[in-house]
A = this chain, B = another copy of it.
Amino acid sequence: MSGSPSDRGTEKPWGGRFTVAQAPLFERLNASIPFDHVLAPYDVAGSRAHVRMLASIGVLTSDEKDTLLEGLERITEEVAAGVFAWSLTDEDIHMAVERRLTEIVGSVGGKMHTGRSRNDQVALDLHLYLRDAVAGHQHRVLDLMKALLVQAQQGLAVIMPGYTHLQRAQPVLLAHHLLAYFFMLQRDWLRFESWSATSWMPLGSGALAGVNYPLDREAVASELGFEHVAPNAMDAVAARDSAFTYLSVATGCALVLSRLAEEVVLWSNQEFGFAALPEEWTSGSSIMPQKRNPDGAELVRAKSAGFLGRLQSLGALLKGLPLAYNKDLQEDKLYVFQSREELDLCLGAMTQMVTGLEFNAERMRTAAEGSYAQAADVADYLVSKGLPFREAHRVTGRLVAVLSERGTPMSEAALTELRELSPLFDSDYYETVSLERVVESKVSPGGTATGRVTEQLSHARQVLDDLGARV
């Protein structure tokens, strides 16, 4: 093998018709091996199933099968040990594996590619990769749900202000607030779970038309753990909806994390002072010695923007692509690989941060007591005395206006001034505006009354049991 330009074209497995080598810049643009090498385990697993099936339908002899499987086993070991030699001239993971296989077992290695093409092969690798990614995310989502549940259990007696529009709205239990994230994450878990229903086994589709062998694709699907075989070869190689859906669900999950991260940033801000991150999850400043910055939470928040961008990239990539395989599809892996790695990182980070958060119950309660957050309950109090809701709302609004003008809390309004606003006010007003009373009155299912939050905690434990069992 001389390596002269006019020969080098023939080094590629597809080089027969070519007389000149690829342009170096083209090779750099074209090669996916710098990133798709992470597909090696999936590529080998698919090849293993393919080889067994080829033998079962008589395309390979039993000896050939054994030889090939042994070679693949050795490749698995080399990859795992980090001694597999990657090369840019391999172009992609499939060629790298086959090249190495042929080095190990000789020319019989070439027979492994019978009855398939790189188009269905990479589609299979991607499905297998995504399935692993999904399972890993589900595992980590459950970890975070557990961490939230633990903190919620400890925060069952802690009253904090609940906000809408970032304005203090009504007092709630800390447990109530944290459980909101628990249930958001449960839905993310469920969406990950439903991902596999549209992941159909593509191998055996050839380049786009099927292949010249009556393959036993059901056997391959069964060995690889798929429920469905892709029924149409062109669809199987050209579609990337499994990746788009994966990125959508991952992005949705990252957005939930970004909201929780934002709250961690707010809570650990000095004006709020509701919580402190554990020291090992903060950074200092090169110039301000007092700083303990919540970099971890900020980065989780920031990284959700990366998910959004990658989802967009894949969408824009797929837009208007005619059938069947186009080289554009090579780029999908960049988005998928990075999102998988980052979601695992963000979930792990958020789990540790949630676990380590130290809440300041006193600051929270003090904040809850301010700002007339009992006003809705005063309105309800007037309703219970017979006023239509909208009128009760109006009277209470005037009361808040009067009191806040001079800084008087609700609990210190004089009965006389109350009665000027409405004759329905009576001394039971003062009980109404106690913080505990306000919280405990939220008795609707899903509400923040202790009993209702206790129900939520039980429900959450049950959810973990159920999902944990299914993972």
Measured between beta carbons, the chain B residues less than 8 angstroms from A391 are 107, 110
B447 touches A284 (CB 8 A): no
Measured between beta carbons, the chain B residues less than 8 angstroms from A280 are 20-23, 26
Q: Is A376 an interface residue (CB 8 A)?
A: yes
Q: Which 10 A-B pairs have the closest CB atoms?
A: A210-B447, A16-B397, A14-B284, A309-B313, A302-B328, A248-B248, A298-B327, A290-B372, A309-B309, A210-B442
Contact of A316 among B287, B316, B394 (CB under 8 A): B316
A293 touches B165 (CB 8 A): yes
Q: A25-B352, A383-B114 are in contact. Are A214 and B326 (CB under 8 A)?
A: no
Binds B, one of A35-43, A82-90, A330-338: A330-338
CB of A363, distance to nearest CB on chain B (Å) = 9
Q: Which of A29, A215, A370 has the most CB of B within 10 A?
A: A29
Q: Closest residue to A328 on the B side, CB-wise?
A: B302
CB of A141, distance to nearest CB on chain B (Å) = 13
Q: A183-B232, A301-B328 are in contact. Are A286 and B393 (CB under 8 A)?
A: yes
A446 touches B281 (CB 8 A): no
CB of A465, distance to nearest CB on chain B (Å) = 15
B15 touches A234 (CB 8 A): no
Measured between beta carbons, the chain B residues less than 8 angstroms from A445 are 204, 210, 214-215, 217-218, 229, 231
- Binary CB contact string for chain A from 161 to 188 against chain B (1 if under 8 A, 0 otherwise): 1111111111110001101111110011
Measured between beta carbons, the chain B residues less than 8 angstroms from A130 are none
A441 touches B212 (CB 8 A): yes
4 A-B pairs besides A14-B286, A211-B447 with CB distance below 8 A are A16-B397, A17-B290, A164-B288, A259-B321
Q: Is A406 an interface residue (CB 8 A)?
A: no
Q: A164-B119, A319-B319 are in contact. Are A26 and B380 (CB under 8 A)?
A: no
Measured between beta carbons, the chain B residues less than 8 angstroms from A376 are 207, 285, 287-289
- Binary CB contact string for chain A from 233 to 259 against chain B (1 if under 8 A, 0 otherwise): 111111101001100110110011011
B393 touches A13 (CB 8 A): yes
Contact of A207 among B117, B164, B234 (CB under 8 A): B164
- Per the bound structure, the CA–CA distance linking A209 and B368 in Å amounts to 13
Q: Is A118 an interface residue (CB 8 A)?
A: yes
- Per the bound structure, the CA–CA distance linking A217 and B445 in Å amounts to 7
- Per the bound structure, the CA–CA distance linking A325 and B208 in Å amounts to 32
A322 touches B389 (CB 8 A): no
Measured between beta carbons, the chain B residues less than 8 angstroms from A375 are 288-291
Q: Closest residue to A452 on the B side, CB-wise?
A: B210
- Binary CB contact string for chain A from 1 to 45 against chain B (1 if under 8 A, 0 otherwise): 000000001101111111111110110111000000000000000
Contact of A312 among B17, B288, B309 (CB under 8 A): B309
Binds B, one of A65-73, A266-274, A412-420, A423-431: A266-274
CB neighbors of B among A337-381 (8 A): 345-346, 348-349, 352, 367, 370-373, 375-380
A26 touches B281 (CB 8 A): yes
B165 touches A207 (CB 8 A): no
Q: Is A310 an interface residue (CB 8 A)?
A: yes
Measured between beta carbons, the chain B residues less than 8 angstroms from A261 are 320
Q: Is A292 an interface residue (CB 8 A)?
A: yes
Measured between beta carbons, the chain B residues less than 8 angstroms from A188 are 241
B296 touches A320 (CB 8 A): no
Measured between beta carbons, the chain B residues less than 8 angstroms from A176 are 209, 232-234
A270 touches B371 (CB 8 A): yes
- Per the bound structure, the CA–CA distance linking A141 and B200 in Å amounts to 20
B183 touches A235 (CB 8 A): yes
Q: A184-B235, A233-B447 are in contact. Are A110 and B319 (CB under 8 A)?
A: no
Q: Is A468 an interface residue (CB 8 A)?
A: no
Measured between beta carbons, the chain B residues less than 8 angstroms from A279 are 9, 18-20
- Per the bound structure, the CA–CA distance linking A452 and B259 in Å amounts to 38
A232 touches B179 (CB 8 A): yes
Q: Is A52 an interface residue (CB 8 A)?
A: no
